[in-house]
Amino acid sequence: MSTLPTFFLSHGGGPWPWMRDQFGNAYDQLEASLRDLPRQAGGKPKALLVVTAHWEGRDFLLSSSARPPMIYDYGGFPPHTYQIQYPAPGSPELAQRVASLLGDRARLDPARGFDHGTFSAMYPAFPEADVPIVQLSLRHGLDPAEHLEIGRLLRPLRDEGVLIVGSGLSYHNLRAFNAVGAEASHVFDAWLRETMAEAPAERTARLLEWERAPAARMAHPREEHLLPLMVVVGAAEDAVAEVVYHEDRFMGALAVSSFKLG
């Protein structure tokens, strides 16, 4: 079995795949990139480990149910978006495997369901919902070095048929998720794409100091949507990165990107 790449995905806003009437073609580029994910990964993986920006804990938490429920962690959307079902199975076995790699830093959560950072991104990529998914949380404190280190511990999964996906957004300032935030999103996204193109050691060093990037705190007033990137970089630290999705006018004004490593 070949070594799988890792991905950081900008997952869009809310339950967008189920809101075509409202959004029109606003998500066409993102949807196309997500539909292409299995090909980019080299085929359908054995399982998915999704590092989600929408879950944090005192430990690194792992969803361990065989049949995860749904979590509609958004507000103000049409009634039908609170009935969405994405019936992908969980994998208690993979959750245990990840826990064994992370040691006493990790804890299983059999009640945790799929949040929209997972189901909105994975539905276009795997619409048949036939790939088992385990979610991994972030840890309180959002320390980039710690999340990079966790990624390094997860590296063996890439040789076991498990696709490691970080689901977040390269720009996430909900108070300026429009033309107000355009300049900051473009400046930060350019820095991020430049950083990801660096040699591995320089890339890691720059990411650890991400707060020094231009417009960093305007782009990420709180960094939970950026931290999944640290995990997937750690899991493929020596790999070359490439941009697999980029828009300059997302939601009319914003720059956003997704990356593949390996």
In the predicted structure, residue 157 carries a pLDDT above the cut 90:
yes
* Structure confidence at residue 110 as a pLDDT band (50, 70, 90): very high
67 has pLDDT over 90 = yes
Confidence of residue 179 (pLDDT cuts 50, 70, 90): confident
Residue 21 has pLDDT above 90, yes or no: no
Whether the pLDDT of residue 1 is over 80: the answer is no
Q: Is residue 128 part of a domain?
A: yes
Flag whether 216 is in a domain.
Answer: yes
Does residue 191 belong to any structural domain of this protein?
yes
- Rounded to whole angstroms, what are the CA distances from 165 to 38, 52, 134, 184, 231? 12, 8, 10, 25, 9
Q: How many independent structural domains does the chain possess? A: 1
Residue 138 and residue 253: Cα distance in Å, rounded? 29
For residue 1, being part of any structural domain is answered with no
H helix intervals, 36-104 = 37-40, 92-102
Q: Is residue 72 situated within a structural domain?
A: yes
Residue 186 lies in a domain: yes
- CATH number for the domain that contains residue 156: 3.40.830.10
In a domain, 158, yes or no: yes
Q: Which domain holds residue 208?
A: 6-261
Taking phi over 0 as left and psi of -120 to 50 as alpha, with beta for the rest, 46 belongs to alpha
Structure confidence at residue 175 as a pLDDT band (50, 70, 90): confident
